Amino acid sequence: MTKTIKVTSVIDSSKTYEYVDDGNPKQGGVKDVYFAPNRKYVVAFFREKLDFNQKDRIKRIVTLYLENIRKGNAPDYFLEDIFRWPYDAVEKDGKTGVVVPVYNSRFFFSKGYGANDTIKGGEKVGKWFTSPSFRNKEYPLSLDKSELGNWLSYFQIAINICRGVKKMHQMGLAHSDLSYNNVLVDPVSKSANIIDLDGLVVPGLFPPEVIGTADFIAPEVLQTKQLPISDPKRILPNQKTDLHALAVLIYMYLLRRHPLRGGKIWDLDSEKDELMAMGEKALFTEHPTDKTNRVKTDQLRKWDSFWGNPDKLPYTVTGPYLSDLFKRAFVDALHNPIARPIANEWETALLKTVDLIQPCSNPNCNEKWYVFDNTSKPKCPFCGTPHKGSLPMADLYFKFKDDIWKPENHRLMVYHNQYLFKWHVSRKIIRNESLTEPDKKPVGYFTFYQNKWVLVNQNLLGMKDLTEQKDIPVNSMVELTNGKKILLSNEEGGRILYITITNQ
C-alpha cells in the first residue's frame, strides 16, 4: 500500500517534507531513498542508526558547508551543475534521513542500450562511460550511440569534476569515496554531478566512514588497511587520497582503461593479488622505464583491443600538459601522496589541452576530435585519418617587462570557425567557474576564407598587426601567415598571438 509520509526538519522545526512510501524504496549502499510527491527532492534514510558524531557531521553538511557554498563564488554553478548537495536533515523512528534535490533529467538514460533497453530511465553513473565495451556495437550491452558524446565531451566532464573537488578541498573537506559510482555524467550536455556527499570527511573532526571504492582507493590506504583504526601508521581517506581517485577518474574518462590494471600477477590468491596490485606493489601500466605491469594484449577482449592497449593508444595522446600530470600522478606520486597534482592543476591542464584540440576530418570518426601532436603530419589517433590542408597554430605571449614578451606555454590550435575568447586576450581574465556571462562571449573567430586563414575581430579595441604595423579595427580581419605577430590588447595583461603554419 502506498502512503505519503510527512517528516520534520531536525534543523528547523518549522520545515516539513513529504515522501511517498510504497514499501519498495530505491536502495543505495547504506540508504533507502524515497521520492517526494512532486519528485523535486528525495528523502534518503540511513538504514543503520547513526551515532552522535555521524549526526553532527550530517547537520554541518546541510548547514555550515552548504552556507559556505551559497556565500562563496559561483554558488549556482556548484549547487546546480556540480553537486547534489543535501540541504536538510530529518528523523523518523530513530533513523536519520537527508533531503537532497533530485538529479537533473539529463543524468538519466533516454535510450539505454541497443538490443536491451533495461537501463532506460536509469542513472548515468560514470562507470558506463569509462570502459570501451559499452561503446562497441558488437558488445551485447553496448550503449546507444546517441548517449555517448565524443572525445571532447569527456574533457568538459573532467573539468567539472576537478572544480567540484577543488571546491571541497578549499572548504577543508575530503570526499573520501570519489569514484565513477559517485559521479553522474552526461556526455551529450558535457555535464558531471558529484553525488553521495553525506559522508564527507572533515580532517580531525569527522573521520571517513568507508575506505573507498575498488579501483579508486589510494595505494597507501590499501597498504595499511589491516592496521587497527587507532594505529598512527594507518592511512584513512583524506584530500591526498581524493587526488589519487581524481587522477584515476580523468585517466579512465579520457582513455577508457585503468592506469594500474596491467598484466602482472603478484599473487595466485586473487584477494592478495588485488591488495598488492592496487596497494603496496601498485605500478603504472605505462611506466616509462619499469615494464613489469605492461598490459598483456593477447588477454584483452576483442572490444577492448584498441582502447585497452596502451601500445595503440598511449596516454601521451592526451597532449603535453595532461601527459605530464599523469606521469606525476602515476609514476612520481603513486607512493608519495604529497607530490600528487591538485585539482586546480588538472583543471588548468584540461583547459589548455582543449585549446590544442583539432576536429577530425573523417565524418565517420566516433571521437570527432583529437589533440594536436606537434608533428608536421598530424593524424587522428582514433581513426588514423591524416589532417587535410594547412594548420595554423597561435602561441600566446605575455609582456614580461618593457618590450620583452615571453611564451605563455599555451597554444591555441586554429580550425575553421574556432573562437577567440577574452581569456586568450588577457592574463587578467581567468577561465574558471567565476567567469561572468559577458566574459564567456567570443571576441573573435578564425576562419578559412577565400583560400586563406584569417582572424576576424568581433569586438576587440586595440587589436594590432605588429608585423605590418597596422590596426585591426572591429569587424575587420587579418590574414594569418607564418611568423605573424598579432597584439590582442594593449591594456595591462594583454597578449600577443604568434602564428606558425604547419602541414603546408
Task: Say if residues 16 and 9 touch (Cβ distance below 8 Å).
Answer: yes
The CATH architecture that domain 123-345 belongs to is: Orthogonal Bundle (1.10)
CA distance 354 to 365: 18
115 confidence band (pLDDT: 50, 70, 90): low
- Identify the burial level of 282 via C-beta atoms within 10 angstroms of its C-beta, where 0-12 means exposed, 13-18 middle and 19 or more buried: buried
For residue 114, the model assigns a pLDDT of: 54
User: Which strands form 404-413's sheet, in the order they lie side by side?
Assistant: 404-413, 391-401, 495-502, 485-487, 464-465, 470-471
- Per-residue pLDDT of 318-331, as tens digits, reads 999 999 999 999 99
pLDDT tens, position by position, 395-419: 999 988 888 899 999 999 999 999 9
What are the tens digits of pLDDT across the range 170-218?
999 999 999 999 999 988 889 999 998 988 888 778 778 788 888 999 9
pLDDT tier for residue 113 given thresholds of 50, 70 and 90: low
Q: How many CB atoms lie within 10 A of CB 496?
A: 20
pLDDT surpassing 90 at residue 299: no
CA distance 389 to 220: 50
Same fold, 123-345 and 389-502: no
Please, what CATH class does the domain formed by 3-102 belong to?
alpha beta
So where are the chain's domains? Answer: 3-102, 123-345, 356-387, 389-502
- Check whether 484 has a pLDDT greater than 70: yes
Whether residue 148 is predicted with pLDDT greater than 90 in this model: the reply is no
Does the global pTM surpass 0.75? yes
Better-scored residue on pLDDT, 479 or 302: 479
Q: Give the single-character DSSP code of 50.
A: P
Region 389-502: CATH code = 2.60.200.20
* Cell of residue 148, nine digits: 555517448
E runs forming strands in 161-290: 183-186, 191-194
State pLDDT tens for residues 361-389: 999 999 999 999 888 889 999 999 999 88
- The pLDDT confidence band at residue 287, using thresholds 50, 70 and 90, is very high
Nearest to 237 by CA among 259, 220, 256: 220
